[in-house]
Structure 1
Amino acid sequence: MVKFPRVRERGAVSLLSVKMAWLAMLSFAYPPPQSVFITVLTVFSTVGTANAGLSELRGTHLKYSKFWSINSPAREARLQSRTGMLIIYMPAILLGAASFWVFPVGNSKDLRFLILRAALTLHFLKRVLEVLFVHKFSGLMAVGSMSDISLSYFVFTAISIYIQYLSRDLPKPRIDLTYHGVVLFLTGMAGNFYHHLVLSRLRKSQGEKEYKIPSGGLFDLVTCPHYLFEIIDFVGLSFISQTIYVFAFTCATIIYLMARSCVTRRWYLSKFEDFPRRVKALVPFIF
């Protein structure tokens, strides 16, 4: 007899906690659009990205870069890494550019929408320019991995833009993070580019296959500083957008890049006896 009130009390407390958490989240994010389609895409894209990170830790890698040949069937379709990377990024950048034609710049309430589209387009434009003028490639890429990554970026860009468009008339978050997001986004872009430049200078020419231990910048502290700044880049995008979808996808991206950085550190330790163990995977002195 005395247990029932306690059960109801615990249920009421749990419900109140959920409500308070939801209200707190709405201080930082727009309410989600009332669309089953958007909800389903949000769940699939974020869960899929996070699961890709967990798969990396289990030894099932996306087959590009130094992991392109691991567990690859002999007859698996492959193509040159430079071509594959361009195919990965081009659909997203074309979609971002096309959004300015589909959704012309309107009044002042479109400012966040304009900044987000510009940031997404710039994000992938930078990657394409790096493929063309910075990175040095020596291997192949599995067509399956290329298709998965390209689709993921395309869907992310499409949903981010569409949800932002739907959110323009919804109640705005009480805390505006737009300009904080711009600063983080530009910081992430610059740091990511610098460390990609450091990596490219390890090889004297295209086609050189020898791997070396990176040094310079934050490479003396972590294995993947370019991933660290990519995370900052995505956090900046989520602050610019302030939609639940972009926040969720950013969290999934963090999980993936954390896993990928761990696997990369493990790879360096296995290939180089003199690789310094004090060098962390992603965050200096911590992780």
Structure 2
Amino acid sequence: MDTLSEFVFPPPASAFVNVMTVVSSAIVAVVGLSEARGKHLKYSKFWSSNNANTDRKSFNLSAKLGMLVAYIPAFLAGVVSLWLFPSEDRRILLLKSALVLHFFKRNLEVLFLHKYSSKMAVDSVITISFSYFSSTAIMIYTQHLSQGLLREPPIDLKSIGVGLFLIGIIGNFYHHYLLSQTRKQGETSYKIPKGGLFSLIICPHYLFEIIEFFGFAFISQTIYSLFFAFATALYLSGRSYATRKWYVSKFEDFPIHVKALLPFVF
């Protein structure tokens, strides 16, 4: 803990934040393990492949509407926090701006970039939306509480955090663009994506998203943001593992050297 205290703020005097640091991170990590074991949130290719076996009485949304509902509350949480508290510490401003930009990009991608051919179950929409909204709101709230403490971490990681965030958001967008090019207008079948890091891993967009979340953690330097970044990495690792397994099962010509998330490793 002495070493950790060099890099992060002390835990704030808030039972809510301290409990949510453990609970929310644990839930996200457990969902990631469930993804790896084959129990998926009901969207994307996993929904398409299992739709025939799911409860037909469940209420579904179009994937585009579902993803907007998933992202907009978190985006609004960031925008409202900027509006309510405009003149603040540089660290808080950087964190809130990065979160707003992250979800603004996601909404633009949903509206103008991604091609959808499936549905989303409402329970999955609610789960994803609540997770993004609550983590964004708590991350910002925790930062406010931390700024009231007597000292900042001796080692300042804000600049590194901004660098990680920029690398993550640019890399994520680039590989989302490549994914959007795998299917022509009107096509609904999945294809093996190519270009960029797709030659080495099947989920480079997830890798760069993990980098983004560690960018948030380094900008923030709170225990909550750090725990949530690790939990997000576990979730996306599980999702990546399941994605590679799905591609291997669907395409006989899937290149065996292409890993899930980390080139040559995993």
Q: TM-score range by the shorter chain?
A: over 0.9
1:74 aligns with 2:56: yes
Give the partner amino acid of 2:134.
Answer: V
Q: Match of 1:282?
A: 261
Q: Match of 1:10?
A: none
Shift of 1:42: 1.7
The CA distance in 1 between the partners of 2:17 and 2:146, in whole Å, is 12
Query: Which deviations, in whole Å up to 9, do the C-alpha atoms of 1:243-282 show, x marking residues without a partner?
Result: 0000000000000011110100000000000001010100
In structure 2, which of residues 203, 209, 212 is the aligned counterpart of residue 233 of structure 1? Answer: 212
If asked which structure has higher relative contact order (CA below 8 Å, sep 6+), I would say 2
How is 1:23-172 mapped onto 2 (pairs within 5 angstroms)?
23-69=2-48, 70=50, 72-106=54-88, 110-170=89-149, 171-172=151-152
Shift of 1:72: 2.5
Tell me the C-alpha RMSD between the 2 structures.
Answer: 0.9
TM-score normalised over the length of structure 1: 0.90
- Tell me the SS of whatever aligns to 1:34: coil
The CA distance in 1 between the partners of 2:99 and 2:17, in whole Å, is 19
Give the partner amino acid of 2:6.
Answer: S
The CA distance in 2 between the partners of 1:55 and 1:263, in whole Å, is 10
Shift of 1:143: 0.5
- Tell me the SS of whatever aligns to 1:79: strand
Q: Where does structure 2 lack aligned partners over 5 or more consecutive residues? A: none
In structure 2, which of residues 144, 168, 183 is the aligned counterpart of residue 203 of structure 1? Answer: 183
- Tell me the SS of whatever aligns to 1:23: coil
Q: Match of 1:194?
A: 174
The CA distance in 2 between the partners of 1:72 and 1:49, in whole Å, is 23
- Tell me the SS of whatever aligns to 2:185: coil
Query: Which deviations, in whole Å up to 9, do the C-alpha atoms of 1:94-147 show, x marking residues without a partner?
Result: 1100001221213xxx00000000001001000000001110001100100010
TM-score normalised over the length of structure 2: 0.96
- Tell me the SS of whatever aligns to 2:2: helix
- Tell me the SS of whatever aligns to 2:61: strand
The CA distance in 2 between the partners of 1:135 and 1:79, in whole Å, is 16
Instruction: Indicate the larger mover: 44-53 or 62-71.
Output: 62-71
- Tell me the SS of whatever aligns to 1:68: helix
The CA distance in 2 between the partners of 1:214 and 1:58, in whole Å, is 24
Query: Which deviations, in whole Å up to 9, do the C-alpha atoms of 1:10-62 show, x marking residues without a partner?
Result: xxxxxxxxxxxx11111010001111111122222101100100111221101
The CA distance in 2 between the partners of 1:121 and 1:254, in whole Å, is 20
Q: Match of 2:161?
A: 181
Q: Where does structure 1 lack aligned partners over 5 or more consecutive residues? A: 1-21
1:268 aligns with 2:247: yes
